[in-house]
């Protein structure tokens, strides 16, 4: 029995060390190691990452979500260039600037091409200044450089007698004059960003720029606010060219981020009339025919509008009573597209 085992062992050793066995085994082993390296270690085929930002008002939440997309594009090593297909009427000044800076950071690592869809106005246009190159459609609406000062104080003027404050401007952040100066400074900063980023490409004066006009895509190209006319596919080709990659995959960054973070990473949309918080109120929607009666019994709190600057307790005039969104920041890079209430 023991002899038999020894015999088997000897045969096995002979087979394992024989040329006929060892050579194919080495080839197979090589293929396996190669495949492991190919799939797990080596960088994959280069890719162009596409971030799609459908019509989105830029405020804290949407800026955070957009930032997650920019970070994903930055961190994924297979992504060598990025296309941002953007449509935005702008939004909060600080949030817009944050996205401009964030995009510019990304651009320092990987070429970024902005493709302007329906509207890239105000704060959206500021974000677009973060890219290396930009396209618009002939019918895109682009520009609107400037600032809207929506309100001063952030505390509602309810029961002012029980509020104690220090400093005459604690509640409002400053006098009317102070606010005018403040938004003027933001306006200058916006203009300087555009002038600096567009450089020689800009073919309009600062004064013209600060008219706050929206331009149709073709005119925006002529004025040097945008580099060319094109759609997302043109953006992808341009991005690949800037990155110097010939054959590439396309990574849908929205889908990748959604997979990673779930619904929390969905881009938010501007509420349309009829879908705002009031209409979403379950009591109201269940109230059928009588539902409109609640409109007649609005309490003073319901009617509250952010006060204009200064002058707490004086009669306030809200310049934008139908403003469709609550942005929660007093200064906006935003164009009010108006839904005609
Ligand atoms: C994109 O812009 C960044 C920062 O300005 C610059 O370093 C980079 O070279 C640009 N990329 C291309 C391809 O032009």
Residue of 115 and 320 predicted with greater confidence: 115
Residue 40 binned pLDDT confidence (cut-offs 50, 70, 90): low
Residue 202 has pLDDT above 90, yes or no: yes
Least-confidence region, from 32-36, 82-86, 275-279: 275-279
Q: CA–CA distance from 30 to each of 22, 24, 26, 56 (Å)? A: 12, 10, 6, 51
Ligand 1 atom 13 nearest Cα = 242
pLDDT score at 300 = 43
Ligand 1 atom 1 nearest Cα = 132
Structural domain boundaries in the chain: 2-41, 47-254+315-334
Residue 279 has pLDDT above 60, yes or no: no
CB of 204 shorter than 6 A to ligand 1? no
Determine the Cα–Cα distance for residues 181 and 63; give it in Å rounded to an integer.
Answer: 26
Residue 70 has pLDDT above 70, yes or no: yes
CB of 131 shorter than 6 A to ligand 1? no
For residue 267, give the DSSP letter.
Answer: P
Residue 27 binned pLDDT confidence (cut-offs 50, 70, 90): confident
In the reported structure, the alpha carbon of residue 104 is separated from the centroid of ligand 1 by a whole-number distance in angstroms of: 9
**Report for 18-22, 53-57, 141-145: range of highest mean pLDDT:** 141-145
- Mean per-residue pLDDT, 257-268: 73
Query: 47-254+315-334: what CATH class?
Result: alpha beta
Ligand 1 atom 7 nearest Cα = 108
Question: Can you spell out the DSSP letters for 96-164?
Answer: HHHHHHHHHHHHHHS-EEEEEEEEEEHHHHHHHTTSSEEEE-TT-EEE--S-EE--S--S--SSGGG--
CB of 69 shorter than 6 A to ligand 1? no
In the reported structure, the alpha carbon of residue 134 is separated from the centroid of ligand 1 by a whole-number distance in angstroms of: 13
Q: Which atom of ligand 1 is nearest to the CA of 242?
A: 13
CB of 111 shorter than 6 A to ligand 1? yes
- pTM of the predicted structure, to 2 decimals: 0.71
Residue 76 binned pLDDT confidence (cut-offs 50, 70, 90): very high
Residue 160 binned pLDDT confidence (cut-offs 50, 70, 90): low
The whole-chain average pLDDT of the chain stands at 78
CB of 242 shorter than 6 A to ligand 1? yes
Residue 321 has pLDDT above 60, yes or no: no
Phi, psi (rounded to 5 degrees) for 90: 100, -155
């Amino acid at each position: 029995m023991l002899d038999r085992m020894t015999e088997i062992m000897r045969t096995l050793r002979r087979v394992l060390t024989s040329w006929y066995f060892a050579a194919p085994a080495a080839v197979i082993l090589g293929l396996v190691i190669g495949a492991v390296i190919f799939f797990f270690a080596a960088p994959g085929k280069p890719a162009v990452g596409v971030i799609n930002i459908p019509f989105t008002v830029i405020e804290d939440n949407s800026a955070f979500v957009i930032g997650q997309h920019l970070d994903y594009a930055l961190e994924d090593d297979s992504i060598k260039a990025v296309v941002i297909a953007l449509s935005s009427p702008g939004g909060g000044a600080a949030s817009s600037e944050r996205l401009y800076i964030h995009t510019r950071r990304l651009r320092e690592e990987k070429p970024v091409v902005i493709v302007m869809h329906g509207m890239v106005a105000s704060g959206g246009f500021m974000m677009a200044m973060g890219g290396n190159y930009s396209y618009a459609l002939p019918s895109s609406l682009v520009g609107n450089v400037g600032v809207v000062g929506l309100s001063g104080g952030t505390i509602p003027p309810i029961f002012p007698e029980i509020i104690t404050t220090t400093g005459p401007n604690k509640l409002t952040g400053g006098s009317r004059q102070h606010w005018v100066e403040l938004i003027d400074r933001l306006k200058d900063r916006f203009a300087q960003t555009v002038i600096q980023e567009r450089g020689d490409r800009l073919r309009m004066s600062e004064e013209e720029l600060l008219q706050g006009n929206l331009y149709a895509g073709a005119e925006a190209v002529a004025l040097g606010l945008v580099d060319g006319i094109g759609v997302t596919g043109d953006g992808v080709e341009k991005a690949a060219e800037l990155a110097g990659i010939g054959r590439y995959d396309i990574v849908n960054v929205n889908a990748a981020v959604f997979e990673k973070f779930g619904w929390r990473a969905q881009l938010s949309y501007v509420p349309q009339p009829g879908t705002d918080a009031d209409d979403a109120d379950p009591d109201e929607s269940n109230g059928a025919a009588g539902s409109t009666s609640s409109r007649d019994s609005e309490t003073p709190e319901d009617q509250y509008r952010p006060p204009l600057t200064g002058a707490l307790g004086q009669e306030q005039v809200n310049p934008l009573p139908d403003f469709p969104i609550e942005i929660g920041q007093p200064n906006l890079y935003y164009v009010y597209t108006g839904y005609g209430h």
